Structures are given as C-alpha cells and as structure tokens.
Amino acid sequence: MEVNNQRVGLLILTAVALIVGAVLLQASSQQIGTAIDTRTVTNKSVAAPANNGVTYFNEAQEYLGNLVVFNASGVEIYNATTYTMAENVSPVTGVKTVYLLDGGYRPLKGVAQTLKVSYDYGEQGYINDSGGRAIAGIIIVMFAIALAIVALYPTLKEKFF
C-alpha cells in the first residue's frame, strides 16, 4: 500500500508541475515573442512638423530604421537633410516615443501637410541587443526541455531507480 501511495503522490506532483509549467511556458513565450519581434509601419499618416519642429507619435516603441517618407501626392521626399526619425522620452507623456524631426524641408511653407511614413520598430520591451534576443529564445527552449524531463521523471524513476 505504501508504494501505491508514493506513486499516486508522484503522479499528482507531476501533473501539477506540468500544468503550472505549461501555463508559465505559454505566458513566457508570448512575452519573449513581443520582446524579440520587429514590426513595420507602412504609410502611416502624420502631420508634417512645422518649421523645423518635431512630431511625436507611436508611444512606447523602439525605432529600428528603414525610414521612408512620402508627401501627400506619393512622392518620396526623404533624404539625410529632410526628415529624421528617432525615439526619445515624450515631454508630454513621459513615455519613450518615436518622433519625426523636420530638417528644414518645407516646400509649402505655411500650408499644413500630411506625410505618409513607413519604418521598422520594436514594441515596448523590445530587446536591443542581438545576444539578448538569442538568449531570450533559448530560455523558452530550455523551459520546454525542463517540462519534458518533469514529464518523463516518473517513468525514469520507476525504470532505473
């Protein structure tokens, strides 16, 4: 009877460990997926910065590059002297925000313009370091291997111990 109680206890412990582990694995995978994936904004309409000004938009993002700016008629107007995009802490909200800086390109001064902006970004929590992104992916793999070992432990214990 003592051996059966130990087996039942081990079975219950294994089941609880696997259920909790599966929930944690799923939650961790989602968070790590957000931290390592890049996203692309395509043709987002933004108001042109006025007279060498700054337009803030898209809070809680990490700017990664590939900026393309088109005017309302679809002509690409981006070059090193026209518009610059970066991220900074917004003076209004206090949150890291992607912003567009006008470098002086104002062909229609005094006229409100809408620009179409495309760029790559990482969501809030994006891991900048490529080594950190690689390690984050490996964490999930190691977690899954640990769950497999927990699942196999009762069988291995019975067979070898």
Output 144-152 pairs: Cβ under 8 A, ≥24 positions apart: 144/25, 146/21, 147/18, 147/21, 147/22, 147/25, 150/14, 150/17, 150/18, 150/21, 151/14, 151/18
Give, to the nearest 10 degrees, the angle between helix 130-160 and helix 2-36. 170
Give the lowest-confidence range in 16-25, 39-48, 56-65. 56-65
Token reading at 108: 């229609």
Q: Residue 160 has what pLDDT?
A: 64
The CA-atom distances, in angstroms, between 18 and each of 142, 145, 148, 150, 158 are 15, 12, 9, 7, 19
Give the lowest-confidence range in 26-40, 47-61, 115-129. 47-61
DSSP string over 28-63: HHHHHHHHH-EEEEEEEEEEPPSSS-EEEEEESEEE
Closest CA to 113 of 42, 55, 40: 55
Does the pTM surpass 0.75? The reply is: no
Closest CA to 32 of 145, 148, 142: 142
Q: 161: which DSSP letter?
A: -
Q: How far apart are CA 124 and CA 37, in angstroms?
A: 11
Token reading at 92: 């209004």
- For residue range 72-101, what is the model confidence (pLDDT) as tens digits? 777 767 655 567 777 777 777 777 777 777
